[in-house]
Amino acid sequence: MPDPRTPALAAQWPDMTTTITSALPPVLRDRNSGLYLAGVVVSGFGTTALWLVSGVWVKDLTGSDGLAALCMLAMWAPTLAGPLLGTIADRTRRKPLLLGVNLLLAALLPTLFAVDSAHRVWLVFAILFVYGAAGVVHDAAESALVASAVPAPLFGDFNGLRMTANEGMKLLAPLAGAGLYAAYGGPGVALLDAVTFVLATGLYACLRVSESRPEPPVGGWRKQTSEGARYLWTHPVLRPLVLAGGTTMLFAGLSGALLYAVIDRLGHAPAYAGVLYAAQGAGSVAIGLLSGPALRRLGERRFAGYGIALTAVAVGLRAIPSDPVALVCSAAIGAGLPCVLIAALTAVQRGTPDALLGRTTATANTLVFTPNVIGLAAGAALVELLDVRLVLTVLGVLWLSSAVPLLQSAARPSRTASRSPSDANPA
């Protein structure tokens, strides 16, 4: 017998849906934003799992902390060619480019099934290098495509949620990756990552974005590549934020290379990195959710400066050999480190013409992340030569001092603005 309440419930359903939808942040009500974030979650899960497992895999095969740290170096090294690779995103339509990059990585990752001994570890580094190069193109195309699909006032909210979705995978992906690695080894994790790229391709294919064919390029590749760098370097707002991001990532590279040494001092196996990454992911989730309102309240420079200071203190305290301290510091690093990245990316998207956005974004990523490569290389050497406690303490002090100019430059205009009206118009 039909339920007499069915018509009434059906009538109420549109109102319930409207109420739930209206309760969501504005950026989540947009169809394209939702698809983007879903794609970030799916592909980010596989990327984070592989990022963790590659280091553990190489450590298990070779027994070397330095070689394990070089896995991150291999993945970040292609950022050196960011301005050149980013030009690709300005010379073709961005959506087809995004789909093609995802499918390329999905086809490439199963090659890691051939790695079964220390003699073939070079293949891990080679795949990670290509992975990083494709990621540079992917990020440039995605950032430019987002700028045309999301309203400009919501860039900060979107980038924060994107960071939450991406970094939030550290709550699940490292533990899942470590479990999958224990059961099936590195090739099993590589296959998982390949599947996530296929799924992300399907989500990105559903985006409704109208793109016109880019205008014919003027000049050669060198001239086109330099245009993004020139625009970025002469912009009074973008340049200090990008430089602050580069300094932060230099120190982040040094800190990251020390991770397995920190774990050794805690008396745990290398797979314990998954636990610390999960705590870091929790911090990143929190700051990603708060970044939109925080950017509007604090401004880009102060938001970035406070995040740098928090990260510096947490890195210095990692010198204390304590599990609770290590977990709290990882969460604090997760909350502080993304601040300058979110602030810089939001500023670039807001202040760059669409025709230059791919190159400018890639150039900004190069200036921000290239120091990370240098830091990883230096850290891989220092971890073999110096006491990790000394390195962490000095690193924390230097990192903290780097936040001071950014906060001073943000406070100076604020004091001037608050003083001028009262001086000009006394009560």
* CA 219/CA 321 separation, integer angstroms: 57
- Reduced to 3 states (helix: H, G, I; strand: E, B; else coil), residue 299 is coil
Sign of the Cα pseudo-torsion (314, 320, 324, 327, in order): positive
What is the per-residue pLDDT for 16? 40
What is the per-residue pLDDT for 405? 78
Are 173 and 287 within 8 A, CB to CB?
no
15 inside domain: no
419 inside domain: no
Mean pLDDT per segment of 10 residues, for the chain of length 427 residues?
A: 46 43 58 80 84 84 81 80 81 86 92 85 89 87 76 76 73 78 87 92 84 65 76 83 89 84 82 81 83 84 91 88 88 90 86 81 83 79 78 86 78 43 35
265 inside domain: yes
115 inside domain: yes
Amino acid at 409: S
The CA dihedral of 175, 177, 183, 187, to the nearest 10 degrees, is -170
What is the per-residue pLDDT for 40? 81
Nearest residue to 133 (alpha-carbon basis) of 311, 371, 362: 362
What is the per-residue pLDDT for 426? 34
Give, in order, the Cα–Cα distances in Å from 278 to each of 41, 45, 100, 329, 390.
15, 12, 31, 12, 26
What is the per-residue pLDDT for 13? 40
What is the per-residue pLDDT for 197? 93
11 inside domain: no
Are 136 and 365 within 8 A, CB to CB?
yes
Q: Which helix (H) or strand (E) holds 171?
A: none
Give, in order, the Cα–Cα distances in Å from 337 to each of 11, 56, 193, 205, 288.
48, 23, 25, 31, 11
12 inside domain: no
Number of structural domains found in the chain: 1
CATH number of the domain to which 54 belongs = 1.20.1250.20
What is the per-residue pLDDT for 414? 43
145 inside domain: yes
Give the structural domain span for 170.
Answer: 27-207+223-412
Nearest residue to 352 (alpha-carbon basis) of 28, 86, 84, 165: 86
391 inside domain: yes
